[in-house]
Structure 1
């Protein structure tokens, strides 16, 4: 399992902008499908992922 995590980390480092965009789109879709019911939680999660180092 740690090998997969390492590979994902490497991909993330190489494609940081694309990962941030995908996470943002996923958050928008989650808001849309839940009619914004969990908007605060979704926004917080998206923000935390996008602020990672």
Structure 2
């Protein structure tokens, strides 16, 4: 099993934690940019969450 396959397997098994981590990263970036790019950051976080795993916990 390659590293990429292992990463995909981990993400699929821990989708809720991955979604929460993406949300926290988005919040930190938003804070550091003073909310200037909130809309873009929200869209990026939502798209990343959509693409990780099959049981997304955040729409």
Pick the TM interval, shorter chain.
0.7 to 0.9
- Higher RCO (CA 8 Å, separation ≥ 6 residues): 2
Deviation per residue, 1:1-53 (Å, 9 max, x gap): xx222111111001000000000000000000000111111101100011124
Give the TM-score of the pair, scaled to structure 2: 0.77
**Runs of 4+ in structure 1 displaced over 3 angstroms?**
none
Structure 1 distance, partners of 2:36, 2:22, is: 18
Q: With the length of structure 1 as denominator, give the TM-score of the two structures.
A: 0.85
Alignment of 1:14-29 (within 5 A): 14-29=13-28
Q: Which runs of 5+ in 1 are unaligned?
A: none
Indicate the RMSD between aligned Cα atoms, in angstroms.
1.0
How many aligned positions are there? 51
Aligned residue runs from structure 1 range 1-53, under 5 A: 3-52=2-51, 53=54
> Structure 2: which 5+ runs fail to align?
55-59
